[in-house]
Amino acid sequence: MNPIAGPSGPSKFSTRTDLPPSKEYGERKATQEIMQGAPTAVTRGSADPQLGRPRTALPEVTSLYAPTQRPEEPITTGIALGPGAGPEVLGARPASTEKLSDILAKMLPYDDTGEVDILYQRALARGM
């Protein structure tokens, strides 16, 4: 392949560009064997070749405009606003209770430009 021309176009004489180039004799066969053992993406209705049975079906994707599947659940469930459970139901970490000035104070020894010191002084002045 000419590196200036780039990869060849589609035809029966085209070369594969999705495989690593073979450097030594027999390396291509080893690469193909490795790729055959690698797991492949699961598609709907495909069979597991090793088990000989259908793979578990993926859940159907709900359309954006489909009616709600949880009519009794408030729309604000999962956020820290309004009715419904807050972010704790999502397993999210709680917001940091550390003050901004404390975080900036930890960065001061590494401040070569003086910008962190300016931010630190402003945070202290605002009580942050």
Q: pLDDT tens digits for 26-59?
A: 777 777 777 777 666 655 555 555 555 566 677 7
**CA angle 10-12-16, nearest 5°?**
60
Angle between helices 115-126 and 100-107 (to 10 degrees): 160
- Residue 5: pLDDT band with limits 50, 70, 90: low
pTM over 0.85: no
Q: Percentage helix, strand, coil, to 5, in the chain?
A: 30, 5, 65
